[in-house]
């Protein structure tokens, strides 16, 4: 069974977000290393895409904070 994030507005947005590669600034700020440590020994949960999730609309941020 495929899991679709509730952080995304639609299934298509969820799939697109999961396919998103690591942004360049993640490597510049060593965020990729931090995420590796946080998700270490939890590979079966596939948590790394959640750290790359970007809210593009204000309403998405509002829903995440106040939901």
pTM value is 0.58
Domain ranges across the chain? 11-66
Query: DSSP states of 6-21 as a string?
Result: TTSSSHHHHHHHHTPP
pLDDT at residue 49 in the model: 82
The whole-angstrom separation of Cα 22 and Cα 5 is 18
Question: Quick one: pLDDT at residue 19?
Answer: 53
User: What is the mean pLDDT, run by run of 10 residues, along the chain of 67 residues?
Assistant: 60 58 86 93 87 72 65
Q: What is the pLDDT of residue 67?
A: 62
The whole-number pLDDT of residue 3 equals 59
CA dist list (Å): 55 to 37, 45, 58: 24, 21, 7
CB atoms within 10 A of CB 56: 10
């Amino acid at each position: 069974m495929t899991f679709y994030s509730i952080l995304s507005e639609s299934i298509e947005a969820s799939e697109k977000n999961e396919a998103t590669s690591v942004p360049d600034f993640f490597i510049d700020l060593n965020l990729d290393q931090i995420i590796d440590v946080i998700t270490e020994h939890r590979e079966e949960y596939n948590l790394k895409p959640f750290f790359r999730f970007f809210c593009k609309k204000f309403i998405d941020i509002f829903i995440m904070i106040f939901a």
